[in-house]
């Protein structure tokens, strides 16, 4: 709801282009000299680079030819100096209405040096694909991290990754017809056709038998279908088919909602890490609208993010215990977690889906008596978790099950660009909270915390990483309460600039959440790409499973803390409600048109 006061406020608001770094007038040379590695890349691919711009602070975009796409991606991914650089994901956009081309844009998280915010940055490699032939050379066989990304754009936009090793359908359901691409602009978001289902699965290896885990299996909370090819108890090979809960949220967001409504939709991408998504989205929009939100808002956001991390890690360790039948651990972990939920309920008004964010700030303030509450709960949690860990890590059987199981070596983790605690348990030293510049959305740059990293890469290591993070988060919460500045909690944002793009990101408890937003006309979102951490972690799970028992499978799968609904995103609005909405929407439109000419 925008009214004139907001608009005026917005107009007074002076441009902080220079610090904020999205300056339209910046020329290529100055851009290239801003960060290490940019110029090298420019030199390496001079003749293929068509353009280069700074999208916003610490986010650079090169327009390159599609022929050199694999080389360019690999140039960054296997950069000799920037060890932990990884392919974050790719965005496919249908920009035919704008310039008659498709756009395929992989982007990488370039880590020049760990925890060096001003130096690290994001690189977007934008390639234009012809409208009649949207094909591009596949990087997947050299870089497994791109396997799903390319399959996804193949499904949703009809791009053709040339000689992709595994060009099966990834996202769309079996009974979705060929040649209908939901994310193309010429398809209405209510249209969901159906044909004869056709499925394609991996071939069964010799003299093995089949154990299907899921879609509905006790060891998996959400629908996901692992095909274990086993010899007795031993897993020989694995095939994965997921996206049973694909809900096409991006289309919905692009289809009909205003940018503030999308915020609430984003929060409901996931039941567990919803706030991370909403913060990421808000961050993206604020970045492209060039807004600095008040400090108090940043602190409140960070506080809630960390509280969410705390209770998510407790929840996860509970589930891990449950997977190996250690129900006492499960119950106690969740008992310890519960006060956080109550606390958050009091802070925001809900246990989950806080609804706390608004583009440009937060909606509720943290009052002093609540601060006491928080400190009390933090103390409680710290003690509770300490005792819990003492018990759990001294439970011989539990350790037996977790130790040396589901090992993910560093190389594989890097190749699949695995994220978050899973990666840190395999020795990857990455954490966007410290790596990338977050200072305009959250307050991580102003508080002190460590990033635990383990080398073993087995399930036990993942448990320990998460537990260490949990204690770090508690310590962070205390700092935030301590340092919380006063002042306003939101700045109103009026009209958004059109066709600007920016990236928002947070380190969810599973890894980096990435929201790419490109605005359209009248405060709508033209393209909104969500990438949850599980999207990068899940393809590595079959690698972890091979060679272990069927008995280990649930634990291993759970050990990456998979969130299928995050990964697979929201369903198409079902036709009926869609109709209702359309009716009213149509009426509103004509009404507004009528009222234009009142008197």
Determine if 162 is a binding residue for other proteins (CB under 8 A): no
DSSP three-state, residue 213? strand
Q: Are 393 and 399 in contact (CB under 8 A)?
A: yes
Only segment of 130-138, 145-153, 337-345, 494-502 that touches other proteins (CB under 8 A) = 337-345
Taking CB under 8 A as the criterion, the residue among 268, 382, 429, 439 binding other proteins is: 268
Cα–Cα distance measured from residue 263 to residue 279, given in angstroms and rounded to the nearest whole number:
9
Q: Which residue in 257, 280, 267 sits closest to 88, CA to CA?
A: 280
Taking CB under 8 A as the criterion, the residue among 387, 483, 584, 589 binding other proteins is: 584
Cα–Cα distance measured from residue 210 to residue 155, given in angstroms and rounded to the nearest whole number:
27
Determine if 199 is a binding residue for other proteins (CB under 8 A): yes
> In angstroms, what is the minimal distance from the CB of 324 to other proteins?
4
Burial of 382 (0-12, 13-18, 19+ CB in 10 A): middle
Taking CB under 8 A as the criterion, the residue among 33, 131, 188, 342 binding other proteins is: 342
Residue that has been written with the tokens 């005792």 in this structure: 387
H helix or E strand, kind and range, residue 579: helix 575-596
Mark 347-376 with x for binding to other proteins (rule: CB under 8 A) and - for no binding.
xxxx--x-x-------xx--x-x-------
Contacts (CB under 8 A) with other proteins, residues 13-72: none
H helix or E strand, kind and range, residue 275: helix 274-289
Of 180 and 211, the one with the shorter C-beta distance to other proteins is 211
Taking CB under 8 A as the criterion, the residue among 8, 40, 345, 574 binding other proteins is: 345
Cα–Cα distance measured from residue 513 to residue 305, given in angstroms and rounded to the nearest whole number:
12
Q: What is the DSSP letter of 46?
A: G
Mark 127-156 with x for binding to other proteins (rule: CB under 8 A) and - for no binding.
------------------------------
Positive or negative, the CA dihedral 431, 434, 438, 444 is positive
Of 262 and 314, the one with the shorter C-beta distance to other proteins is 262
> In angstroms, what is the minimal distance from the CB of 411 to other proteins?
27
Contacts (CB under 8 A) with other proteins, residues 397-436: 397-398, 400-401
Taking CB under 8 A as the criterion, the residue among 52, 153, 213, 238 binding other proteins is: 213
Of 25 and 596, the one with the shorter C-beta distance to other proteins is 596
Of 50 and 579, the one with the shorter C-beta distance to other proteins is 579
Residue that has been written with the tokens 């609005």 in this structure: 573
Strand partners, 461: none
Cα–Cα distance measured from residue 546 to residue 402, given in angstroms and rounded to the nearest whole number:
16
Of 141 and 585, the one with the shorter C-beta distance to other proteins is 585
> In angstroms, what is the minimal distance from the CB of 553 to other proteins?
7
Taking CB under 8 A as the criterion, the residue among 326, 416, 516, 528 binding other proteins is: 326
Determine if 591 is a binding residue for other proteins (CB under 8 A): yes
Burial of 478 (0-12, 13-18, 19+ CB in 10 A): middle
The DSSP bridge pattern shows strands 121-130 and 59-64 to be parallel
Positive or negative, the CA dihedral 472, 478, 482, 487 is positive
Reported residue count of the chain is 599
Cα–Cα distance measured from residue 214 to residue 211, given in angstroms and rounded to the nearest whole number:
9
Q: What is the DSSP letter of 570?
A: P
Taking CB under 8 A as the criterion, the residue among 8, 133, 338, 488 binding other proteins is: 338
Determine if 323 is a binding residue for other proteins (CB under 8 A): yes
Of 333 and 453, the one with the shorter C-beta distance to other proteins is 333
> In angstroms, what is the minimal distance from the CB of 30 to other proteins?
41
> In angstroms, what is the minimal distance from the CB of 377 to other proteins?
11
> Which tokens in the block code for residue 42?
């420019």
> In angstroms, what is the minimal distance from the CB of 82 to other proteins?
40
CA 524 to chain CA centroid, Å, is 21
Q: What is the dihedral of CA 575, 194, 515, 577, to 10 degrees?
A: 10
Mark 220-239 with x for binding to other proteins (rule: CB under 8 A) and - for no binding.
-----x-x--xxxxx-----
Mark 271-300 with x for binding to other proteins (rule: CB under 8 A) and - for no binding.
------------------------------
Taking CB under 8 A as the criterion, the residue among 37, 329, 360, 406 binding other proteins is: 329
Q: What is the dihedral of CA 301, 306, 310, 311, to 10 degrees?
A: 10
Determine if 210 is a binding residue for other proteins (CB under 8 A): yes
Contacts (CB under 8 A) with other proteins, residues 169-198: 174, 197
Taking CB under 8 A as the criterion, the residue among 64, 72, 73, 265 binding other proteins is: 265
Only segment of 116-124, 155-163, 294-302, 392-400 that touches other proteins (CB under 8 A) = 392-400
> In angstroms, what is the minimal distance from the CB of 48 to other proteins?
43
Only segment of 148-156, 319-327, 432-440, 521-529 that touches other proteins (CB under 8 A) = 319-327
Determine if 596 is a binding residue for other proteins (CB under 8 A): yes
Taking CB under 8 A as the criterion, the residue among 575, 581, 586, 589 binding other proteins is: 581
Determine if 503 is a binding residue for other proteins (CB under 8 A): no
Q: What residues contact 25, with CB distance under 8 A and at least 6 apart?
A: none
* H helices present in 200-326, as ranges: 249-255, 259-267, 274-289, 295-323
Q: Are 474 and 238 in contact (CB under 8 A)?
A: no
Q: What is the dihedral of CA 545, 548, 553, 557, to 10 degrees?
A: -40
Cα–Cα distance measured from residue 478 to residue 520, given in angstroms and rounded to the nearest whole number:
40
Taking CB under 8 A as the criterion, the residue among 204, 382, 429, 439 binding other proteins is: 204
> In angstroms, what is the minimal distance from the CB of 248 to other proteins?
15
Contacts (CB under 8 A) with other proteins, residues 431-460: none
> In angstroms, what is the minimal distance from the CB of 237 to other proteins?
13
**In Å, what is the CA distance from 525 to each residue of 97, 99, 519?**
14, 17, 4
Determine if 594 is a binding residue for other proteins (CB under 8 A): yes
Q: Which residue in 382, 385, 389 sits closest to 475, CA to CA?
A: 382
Q: Are 125 and 64 in contact (CB under 8 A)?
A: yes
Determine if 304 is a binding residue for other proteins (CB under 8 A): no
Determine if 10 is a binding residue for other proteins (CB under 8 A): no
Taking CB under 8 A as the criterion, the residue among 22, 277, 311, 332 binding other proteins is: 332
Only segment of 181-189, 219-227, 455-463, 497-505 that touches other proteins (CB under 8 A) = 219-227
Cα–Cα distance measured from residue 428 to residue 410, given in angstroms and rounded to the nearest whole number:
7
């Amino acid at each position: 709801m925008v009214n004139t006061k907001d608009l005026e406020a917005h107009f007074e608001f002076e441009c902080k282009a220079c610090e904020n770094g999205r300056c339209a007038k910046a020329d290529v040379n100055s851009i290239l000299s801003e960060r290490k590695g940019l110029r090298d890349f420019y030199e390496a691919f001079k003749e293929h680079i068509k353009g280069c711009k700074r999208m916003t602070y610490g986010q650079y975009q090169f327009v390159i030819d599609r022929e050199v796409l694999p080389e360019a991606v690999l140039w960054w991914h296997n950069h000799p100096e920037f060890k932990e650089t990884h392919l974050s994901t790719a965005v496919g956009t249908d920009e035919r209405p704008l310039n008659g081309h498709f756009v395929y844009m992989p982007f990488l998280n370039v880590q020049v040096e760990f925890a060096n915010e001003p130096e690290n940055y994001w690189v977007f490699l934008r390639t234009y694909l012809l409208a009649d032939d949207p094909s591009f050379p596949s990087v997947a066989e050299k870089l497994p991290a791109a396997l799903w990304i390319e399959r996804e754009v193949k499904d949703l936009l009809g791009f053709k990754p040339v000689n992709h090793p595994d060009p099966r359908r990834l996202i769309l359901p079996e009974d979705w017809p060929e040649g209908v691409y939901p994310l193309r602009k010429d398809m209405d978001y209510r249209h969901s056709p159906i044909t004869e289902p056709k499925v394609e699965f991996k071939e069964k290896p010799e003299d093995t038998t089949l154990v299907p885990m899921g879609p509905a299996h006790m060891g998996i909370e959400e629908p996901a279908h692992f095909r274990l090819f086993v010899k007795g108890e031993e897993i020989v090979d694995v095939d994965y088919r997921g996206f049973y809960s694909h809900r096409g949220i991006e289309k919905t967001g692009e289809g009909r909602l205003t940018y503030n409504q999308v915020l609430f939709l984003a929060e409901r991408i996931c039941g567990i890490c919803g706030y991370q998504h909403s913060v990421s989205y808000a961050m993206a929009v604020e970045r492209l609208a060039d807004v600095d939100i008040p400090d108090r808002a940043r602190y409140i956001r960070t506080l809630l993010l960390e509280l969410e991390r705390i209770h998510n890690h407790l929840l996860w360790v509970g589930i891990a215990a449950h997977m190996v039948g250690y129900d006492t651990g499960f119950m106690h972990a969740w008992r310890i977690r519960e006060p956080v939920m109550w606390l958050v309920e009091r802070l925001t008004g809900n246990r989950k889906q806080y609804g706390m964010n608004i583009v440009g700030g937060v909606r509720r303030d943290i009052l002093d008596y609540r601060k006491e509450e928080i400190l009390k709960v933090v103390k409680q949690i710290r003690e509770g978790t300490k005792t819990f860990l003492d018990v759990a890590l001294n439970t011989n059987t539990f350790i037996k099950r977790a130790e040396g199981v589901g090992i993910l070596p560093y190389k594989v983790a890097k190749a699949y660009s695995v994220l978050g605690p899973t990666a840190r348990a395999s020795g990857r030293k990455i954490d966007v909270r410290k790596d990338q510049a977050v200072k305009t959305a959250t307050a991580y740059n102003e508080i002190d915390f460590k990033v635990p990293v383990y080398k073993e890469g087995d399930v036990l290591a993942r448990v320990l990483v998460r537990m260490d993070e949990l204690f770090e988060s508690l310590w962070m919460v205390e700092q935030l309460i301590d340092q919380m500045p006063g002042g306003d909690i939101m700045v109103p944002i009026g009209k958004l600039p059109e066709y600007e793009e920016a990236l928002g990101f947070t380190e969810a408890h599973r890894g980096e959440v990435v929201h790419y937003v490109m605005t359209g006309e009248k405060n709508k979102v033209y393209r909104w790409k969500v990438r949850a951490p599980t999207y990068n972690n899940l393809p590595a799970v079959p690698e972890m499973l091979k060679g272990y028992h069927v008995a280990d499978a649930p634990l291993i799968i759970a050990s990456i803390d998979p969130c299928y609904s995050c990964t697979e995103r929201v369903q198409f609005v079902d036709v009926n409600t869609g109709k209702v909405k359309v009716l009213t929407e149509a009426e509103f439109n004509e009404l507004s048109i009528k009222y234009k000419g009142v008197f």
